[in-house]
Amino acid sequence: MREPCLNSINSKGGDNLPNRQGEPRKRLFVALMGVTCLLIVGVIYLGWWIPTKGLENIHPALPGYVGLTFAILSGMAIMGTFLLILTTALGKDIFLTRLMRLVVIKFLLPAIELLGRCMGISRDTIRQSFVAMNNSLVASQKLKVLPDRILILLPHCLQLFDCDIKVTGGICKCLRCGRCDIRGLAELGQRHGIDISVATGGTLARKVIVEKRPKLVIAVACERDLTSGIKDCYPLPVIGILNDRPSGPCINTVVDTAKIEQALLSVLP
Ligand code: SF4
């Protein structure tokens, strides 16, 4: 498995930090979520309308009852989408935000990825938007976590490829020469007393999380690894920060340390 390149962050309701293009990407996810909701409601309606013709033959009142059930399900889908949009827009934990994160991560993301593919939107664009939406929901929970319960998880591709030091054994081993972003991140961890782990793969990243048992993870990665990392970690809240790949994927990647510090300050008491 490729190393986890966990990463993106928001401001109001999670869009506090700009993405690389300076635009809040979660809008795309919200728009696709609305379309998905309409499609679900359409399917629910068809699920009622088609058998209605036959239900009448069983009992004259049956189509009415079944129709009512489907109307309630449709109402729940519409209300859920509305609540989700309101939560991310206001940046407040209005109602059951944790449950909404579950719905978005486990159910909506696969449906939205499928819809996006049908509409010709790239998977990475959808994933960037998903990460921004996830960050919004985490931010809306207004979590405050002590430094010793926060874990910053980095992909090892952030380290300069030619560096002889093995920071996977501990970021403190970095000699701080400044040729890669590890230096700034090591200093950040030291400044705030935060545990930082550098993982060489998704399996190792999961192992680190199981061992360290953090209450919140700030993860840096590429779109793919960040999306799978957020999914795998649920219900553990993960703030994702996308890395940049000026030299191509998985080698000498870079990250904006200021974004990580901003995410950190937003959750420190
Ligand atoms: S900053 Fe640290 S990890 Fe990066 S090249 Fe220098 S010694 Fe190696």
Domains of the chain: residue spans and CATH: 11-17+142-267 (3.40.50), 26-139 (no CATH)
C-alpha span between 239 and 204 (Å, rounded): 19
Q: Whose CA is nearest to atom 8 of ligand 1?
A: 163
Q: Name the nearest CA neighbour of 218 among 237, 243, 231.
A: 237
Q: Whose CA is nearest to atom 6 of ligand 1?
A: 177
Structure tokens at 18: 């700009």
pLDDT of residue 266: 95
pLDDT of residue 6: 41
Mutate to test the pocket of ligand 1, among 173, 176, 183 (most ligand atoms within 8 A of CB): 183
User: How far from 98 is each of 61, 84, 108, 134, 247, CA to CA, in Å?
Assistant: 39, 11, 14, 11, 37
pLDDT of residue 193: 95
Ligand 1 centroid–CA 189 distance in Å is 15
Q: Kindly give the number of the ligand 1 atom that is closest to the alpha carbon of 178.
A: 1
The pLDDT tens digits along the chain (269 residues) read 344 434 344 444 444 444 444 444 678 888 888 888 899 888 888 888 877 777 777 778 878 888 899 888 888 888 778 887 777 777 777 667 777 778 888 788 888 888 888 889 998 999 998 999 899 889 988 999 999 999 999 999 999 999 999 898 789 999 999 999 999 999 999 999 999 999 988 888 889 999 999 999 999 999 999 999 998 898 999 999 999 999 999 999 999 999 999 999 999 99
Structure tokens at 140: 């809306």
**Structure pTM?**
0.79
C-alpha span between 14 and 181 (Å, rounded): 24
pLDDT of residue 263: 96
pLDDT of residue 52: 75
pLDDT of residue 198: 95
pLDDT of residue 93: 74
pLDDT of residue 49: 80
| C-beta 173 within 6 A of ligand 1 | no
User: How far from 210 is each of 204, 215, 218, CA to CA, in Å?
Assistant: 10, 11, 15
User: How far from 136 is each of 12, 86, 150, 229, 238, CA to CA, in Å?
Assistant: 8, 11, 18, 17, 11
CB atoms within 10 A of CB 162: 8
Measured distance between the N- and C-terminal CA atoms of the chain, rounded to whole angstroms: 36
pLDDT of residue 99: 78
pLDDT of residue 171: 93
| C-beta 174 within 6 A of ligand 1 | yes
| C-beta 1 within 6 A of ligand 1 | no
Mutate to test the pocket of ligand 1, among 154, 177, 196 (most ligand atoms within 8 A of CB): 177
Q: Name the nearest CA neighbour of 232 among 211, 212, 253, 210.
A: 210
Answer whether 174's CB lies under 8 Å from 182's CB: yes
C-alpha span between 191 and 182 (Å, rounded): 14
Ligand 1 centroid–CA 211 distance in Å is 26
pLDDT of residue 88: 75
